[in-house]
Amino acid sequence: MDVDLNNEAHKESQSVHVEPSKVKEISAPEDIEGPEDAEGYKKRHLNVVFIGHVDAGKSTTGGQILFLSGQVDDRTIQKYEKEAKDKSRESWYMAYIMDTNEEERVKGKTVEVGRAHFETETTRFTILDAPGHKSYVPNMISGASQADIGVLVISARKGEFETGYERGGQTREHVQLAKTLGVSKLLVVVNKMDDPTVNWSKERYDEIESKMIPFLRSSGYNVKKDVHFLPLSGLVGLNMKTRVDKSLCSWWNGPCLFEALDAIDVPFRDPKGPFRMPIIDKFKDMGTVVMGKVESGSVREGDSLLVMPNKVQVKVFAVYCDENKVKLAGPGENVRVRLSGIEEEDIISGFVLSSIAKPIPAVYEFVAQLQILELLDNAIFTAGYKAVLHIHSIVEECEIIELLQQIDPKTKKPMKKKVLFVKNGAVVLCRIQVNNLICIEKFSDFPQLGRFTLRTEGKTVAMGKVMDLNSASSI
């Protein structure tokens, strides 16, 4: 299904410092154990983004997780069933748990990223339910940039896997964006296994897995180490909290979704590194409150920090993880920080809360290695090319100033010939300029703050890594 919902994509290409979408908070995590002591947590915490083509079943699966973990009662489900029926969207009632806006319920499409919480044996999870429709890719990017791991939802229903996977489908685009945005591990759930066209067929499951593997590999994922597949029915809730019954699916011997999420290992992040938190949102509430994900270091009450790039020194009044006030929050946590010393108007999303001793660099220009994906109308890529840069929570217009060197994709070595333009598929080193100071890092120092995408007219045209920061223009 592909309806043009609005003109978001077009708006995006003209915007500078666009406010990233607000997330909608779904489950309040009162009954979930918060941080335990000042230095650590009883349970680890992971942010999981649900990605995949429109209608794959992301919200349905997210909603089912909340139902199975006891956060939504039967009465609410019955109410949603009735509401969905009234809107002639009978099968969407589970998705209504995540899709809380009227627009989303009427159209059956997620627009804003929904955020919810649940926990398994070993882990506290924050779910980020991204929209699949191509008009809302900027919202998906903001969801993915907050995540550590991804659940890629694929519909096994006849024809639906094919539409999502073909060129221009969001299965491909979401995978490439997730990798670029630092989503290091993927659980690929082959959903709608209960559908009459699938009926828990091993053949269909194997077909999807075998087609996805080479693509995931070409997108940069180590399929053996970083990717796991499993069959699922989000709507019926099978192979989720407990393993699917053998009488239904005799061939599946692997884990269910909750087990697989429990078992995911993520790389260690140093809580003692220099503090970095890109700001995704801000508001006024007894001072100035900023929201974001801690990408490096830790923050605690009483800390003095810098808001960059405007170099305003601030003091931390309070730190909140989900709804709980905490003394300390480390890397990977989504937090709200109440600050004194700055007005809310003086902060723009994309600014970075940073350590004073080692502040994040602010630049107008940087050198990047770009992988060109697919240019609009097969345009050529050359100096003067303009696009929208998405890097952590920054959305900013940019211009390619100079192509420096083309890289041979096979040998990964620079080619000798001087390069003036490149085409689809090329890998190229170039200089990129922006009009406003932005705070970014070299990919080799802080991968999460040094990888980015370029988009034009609502399409992702390139992915890149920051190789060098231009110190002449930094402050």
Binding site for ligand GTP (CB under 6 A): 52, 54-60, 91-92, 95, 108-110, 131-133, 153, 191-192, 194-195, 233-235
One-letter amino acid of 402:
E
Residue 26 contacts which entry, ligand GTP, Mg ion, none (Cβ below 5-8 A, type-dependent): none
The answer to whether 93 touches 77, Cβ cutoff 8 Å, is yes
- φ and ψ of 76, to 5 deg: -65, -40
112/295 with CB nearer ligand GTP: 112
Size of the site for Mg ion (CB under 5 A): 3
Ranges within 151-180 binding Mg ion (CB under 5 A): none
Nearer to Mg ion among residue 180 and residue 191 (C-beta): 191
Q: Which stretch binds Mg ion (CB under 5 A): 57-65, 171-179, 264-272, 396-404?
A: 57-65
Helical (H) or strand (E) element with 281: strand 276-284
Q: Which is nearer to Mg ion, 183 or 388 (CB)?
A: 183
- Measured between alpha carbons, how far is 402 from 85 in angstroms, rounded to an integer? 56
Q: How far is the CB of 73 from Mg ion (least distance, A)?
A: 22
Collapsing DSSP to helix, strand or coil, 82 comes out as helix
We find the least distance from the C-beta atom of residue 243 to Mg ion, in angstroms, to be 25
- Beta carbons within 10 angstroms of residue 197's beta carbon: 12
**Closest CB to ligand GTP among residues 155, 406:** 155
Choice between 97 and 264, CB closer to ligand GTP: 97
Report, in Å, the least distance between residue 252 CB and ligand GTP. 15
In 71-199, beta strands by DSSP E: 114-119, 123-129, 149-155, 185-191
Burial (Cβ within 10 Å: 0-12, 13-18, ≥19) of residue 7: exposed
Q: What letter does residue 315 receive in the DSSP assignment?
A: E
In the complex with Mg ion, the residue whose CB is nearer, 94 or 407, is: 94
Minimal distance, residue 456 CB to ligand GTP, in Å: 22
CB of 82 to ligand GTP, least distance (A): 15
| 110 is an interface residue for Mg ion by CB under 5 A | yes
Least distance in angstroms from the C-beta of 56 to Mg ion: 8
**Among 123, 97, 127, 118, which residue's Cα sits nearest to residue 32?**
118
Asked if the bond preceding 20 is cis, omega within 30° of 0, the reply is no
In angstroms, give the least distance from the CB of 58 to ligand GTP: 4
Please, which residue, 34 or 114, has the CB nearer to ligand GTP? 114
Contact between 58 and Mg ion by CB under 5 A: the answer reads: yes
Considering only residues 21, 27, 59, 233, which one is a binding residue for Mg ion as defined by CB under 5 A? Answer: 59
Q: Which residue is nearest to ligand GTP (CB)?
A: 132
Contact 368, 429 (CB under 8 A): yes
Ordered DSSP codes for 228-264: EEEE-BTTTTBTSSSPPPTTT-TT--S--HHHHHHH-
- Which residue carries 């996805």 as its tokens? 212
